[in-house]
Amino acid sequence: MGYSLGKEDLKVVPLMKSIVAELLGTMFLVIIGCGAAMQWKTKFDTTQVSLAFGLAVMAIASFTGHISGGNLNPAVSVGLLAGGKLSLLKTVLYVVAQCIGAVIGAGILHLVTPEQHRAGLGSNGLADGVTP
């Protein structure tokens, strides 16, 4: 494709489909991946979290790939821009949609998680009894 501003991407319906696909894909990735990383019902299992993220990316890329390319991550979108595979317009819109999708996914995860387990929402941290 080469470097492009994205004038050819201004067809409204395909562009909206791809933006919605990126938003939903990133939202589902946050819900599934971070939800698995929380593990408030079971003892922490690295394999479970790795499989959840890996299988989620595979499944989500399968249903968004033919619409938007299945980037699912702003770093991937910017990397494709740097490599000349994604236009500037699509990159900006994808990054905005991915960030909004991630916030919506974290919000849904926050709402469905019991209150006593909401602290980190799957973020990394120190184990119990370990001090910095």
pLDDT in tens, 75-107: 999 999 999 999 999 999 999 999 999 999 999
Other CB atoms within a 10 A radius of the CB of residue 127 amount to 6
pLDDT tens digit string along 8-49? 778 889 999 999 999 999 999 999 998 888 877 777 788 988
pLDDT attached to residue 1: 60
Is pLDDT at 117 greater than 90 in this prediction?
no
Q: Retrieve residue 128's tokens.
A: 């119990």
Q: What is the pTM of this model?
A: 0.86
Helix 74-82 and helix 88-112, axial crossing angle in degrees, nearest 10: 170
